[in-house]
Structure 1
Amino acid sequence: MGPDKHGVRAGGRRGILATAVTVVCAVTVLAAPGTAFAAPSPTLSPSGSATPAPDKDLEAVREKLDDLYHDAAVATDAYNAAEEAADKQSAEIVDLAKKIVKGQRRLDGLKARAGRAAAAQYRTGGMPDSAKLLLSDNPSQFLDGAGRVLQGERATKALIRELTLTQQDLKQYAADAADQWDRLEAGRKAKAAAKKKIQQRIAAAEKLQSTLEKKQKERLAELERAAAYKAQTAWLDTGILDEIHSKASAAGRKAVAFATAQIGKPYVWGAEGPDSYDCSGLTSQAWASAGRPIPRTSQEQWKQLKHVDVKDMRPGDLIIYFDDASHVAMYVGDGAIIQAPRPGRTVSVGGAGAMPILGVVRPDA
């Protein structure tokens, strides 16, 4: 990938046992319906007396951050889509260029043949062979020559037809190449606009967080976790896990294993490994490792892959979130997902119901 995806290299890779323990512990907590959450502890004033935390203000900050990072996620999908389209268009332009070169050589050869035919006619005085035969006194020569004339006329017509078709092909190739260049330029502008929006939203989020004091940041993190756990608990309390019994396919197990091995690596928008990922970069690479290439972006994954009911999902399936399909995570079983959440976070285990679910797709349907 380009320089936009350099990211920060994660710390030393966790061992297989440590990773497995992390996932199992997280899944155990996430899959417990009806989990109770303790009320947030009050903050203490310098004198040691309890004072209410400004949760209302921090909740507003949390919602604003969610909005900013959501906008960045939407822009990241647009950026990734533009980049994918650019790669495809560039390949098509190269292919068209090869066709144009080949067609031009063919046209040059056909023109050379036509030139030789014209020169031969000039050397014979410009009189058509058919006229010469009609003036001949030798019937045998006339009949033999008539056959050659007919063959010559057919060859000439075929040559003219081939010249015409080749010229038409070259004209179409040139038009197609020009169209692809226009699309490539439009895609470049769309990509640049998406990149600018991503950077603006992330910068705004970071600026907002920089205004918070250490204790406020800690309290904000608690509110974020509480909101996620509350949503996860509400989802589990519907009894959904009682309906989900499907086991992972062989390819699904490989995809889950890949995603699990990436835990702890940083989120970087536009990245698709091996040192960092965005949400769809993680899911697309996980399934590529399982031998099932899928679309690059979460929106295209939602559009192109087979939809399955939530109650029918199995480990390895992808859960698409939000009405605009701007986020995707991999279901790993027992109500848990592995995801690359957002800038400033790492690939981690979370609750499948912690965000609004749009639907579920299956790469290996």
Structure 2
Amino acid sequence: MGTGKRGLLAAAVTVVCAVTVLGASGTAYASPTPSKSPSPSASKSPAATSTASAPSVPSAPSNKDLEAVRKKLDELYHEAAVATDAYNAAQERADQQSAQIVELAKVIVKGQAKLDDLKNRAGAAARAQYRTGGLPPEAQLMLSDNPGEFLDGAGRVIQGERATKGLLRELTQTQQDLKQYAADASDQWQKLEANRKAKASAKKQIQQRIKAAEQLESRLEKAEKERLAKLEQEAANKAQTAWLDSGVLKDITSKASEQGKKAVEFATKQLGKPYVWGAEGPDSYDCSGLTSQGWAAAGHPIPRTSQEQWKQLKHVAVQDMRPGDLIIYFSDASHVAMYIGGGAIIHAPRPGRTVTLAGAGSMPILGVVRPDAS
């Protein structure tokens, strides 16, 4: 290997060390199970790491060296996936809160119009009372030229007084309602702002992890990238083979439901489209964007994120899954794919990849959920 090539691989190993520190300095994600902490022996900062401190590099990079790079890339993209789920969840909550604020605003406008009307009616009642001079009924009876007409009028006055009291009660209640609506709107604004901050924080985490992974890959030469891709495929094949060897596939005999067929058909049409975090079509997708849009197209909306899909949808045994079901991966439910039958899935893997077919057992399975369970 030439001096230039050794320098490139040394730089790649250096980035492995540096991004380990990056993983250690990140804030916790909104996931059920935090990512595994990096080794305490990592350098204190990426800037402090240099090619001089990197492990010695052999004249030809071994599969062991590239395997370390592969594992680091898996770790970085996994952390990006967790942060993407947090970003999507914050976005979904923000959308809901924005809609609630709009509805509250409409109610407040109607309430204010009602309050203005009630105030006008109360003012008219007060002016009518003023025109009588504010005299007590006894005095008005003594001064009246026609006692019969007065008594008839007195009955109407009593009715008017009762109506006025009801009007005042309604006025008071409307004022209290408006006060509560305003408080609710203020509360929703505060939650909206908190979710905007959470989304911004998650976005920063995503960008950091993806950038670190891209920098790591960019330091590999073409031949090394090809070998790395081969190692990635070998690791996936090994996991899929172990899954198939367990005999699980022979027990999977269920056929897709009508909605499941539609979801699979939708997902199949997205093959080849790029992964983009936070995307839910039509030109690009992240993992849960693909599955949620697939089931929306089937006429059965489901939660937006893989973690909420795992929490809210019905769990089914792996041996009972059928095409259209969703397979949730990793202990923190940070990835999801759609099962299409024959031991295969369609999924949006990670940044730099496209929607593709893969083995259902090529990643650690957390469980299976069924969107259209009766």
Output the TM-score relative to the length of structure 2.
0.81
RMSD: 1.7
Match of 1:77 in 2: 85
The whole-number CA distance in structure 2 between the counterparts of 1:179 and 1:275 is 36
Q: Deviations over 1:239-275 (max 9, x none)?
A: 1011111000011111101101111111011111111
In the alignment, is the contact (CA less than 8 A) between 1:266 and 1:276 conserved in 2? Answer: yes
The one of 116, 124, 134 equivalent to 1:116 is: 124
Q: Deviations over 1:308-352 (max 9, x none)?
A: 111111000000111111100000001100000000001000011
Change (3 A) 1:249 1:130: farther
The one of 182, 187, 192 equivalent to 1:174 is: 182
SS at match of 1:109: helix
The whole-number CA distance in structure 2 between the counterparts of 1:144 and 1:249 is 75
Does residue 125 of structure 1 match 2:133? yes
Match of 1:224 in 2: 232
Name the aligned partner's letter for residue 349 of structure 1.
L
The whole-number CA distance in structure 1 between the counterparts of 2:90 and 2:136 is 60
Name the aligned partner's letter for residue 232 of structure 1.
Q
SS at match of 2:346: strand
In the alignment, is the contact (CA less than 8 A) between 1:256 and 1:315 conserved in 2? Answer: yes
In the alignment, is the contact (CA less than 8 A) between 1:133 and 1:146 conserved in 2? Answer: no
Does residue 304 of structure 1 match 2:312? yes
Match of 1:186 in 2: 194
Please say which of residues 135-144 and 331-340 is displaced more in the overlay. Answer: 135-144
The whole-number CA distance in structure 2 between the counterparts of 1:186 and 1:169 is 26
In the alignment, is the contact (CA less than 8 A) between 2:141 and 2:147 conserved in 1? Answer: no
In the alignment, is the contact (CA less than 8 A) between 2:98 and 2:192 conserved in 1? Answer: yes
The whole-number CA distance in structure 2 between the counterparts of 1:84 and 1:341 is 21
Name the aligned partner's letter for residue 119 of structure 2.
K
Match of 1:348 in 2: 356
Output the TM-score relative to the length of structure 1.
0.83
Q: CA deviation at 1:153?
A: 2.4
Change (3 A) 1:130 1:161: farther
Change (3 A) 1:78 1:338: same
Match of 2:4 in 1: none
Q: Which runs of 5+ in 1 are unaligned?
A: 1-50
Name the aligned partner's letter for residue 172 of structure 2.
T
The whole-number CA distance in structure 2 between the counterparts of 1:106 and 1:136 is 38
Q: CA deviation at 1:63?
A: 0.8
Does residue 165 of structure 1 match 2:169? no
Query: What percent identity do the matched residue pairs reach?
Result: 77
Q: Which runs of 5+ in 2 are unaligned?
A: 1-58
The whole-number CA distance in structure 1 between the counterparts of 2:63 and 2:71 is 12
User: Alignment length, in residue pairs?
Assistant: 315
The whole-number CA distance in structure 1 between the counterparts of 2:140 and 2:180 is 42
Does residue 240 of structure 1 match 2:248? yes
Match of 1:284 in 2: 292
Match of 2:14 in 1: none
In the alignment, is the contact (CA less than 8 A) between 2:277 and 2:285 conserved in 1? Answer: yes
Relative contact order: is structure 1 or structure 2 higher (C-alpha 8 Å, sep ≥ 6)?
1
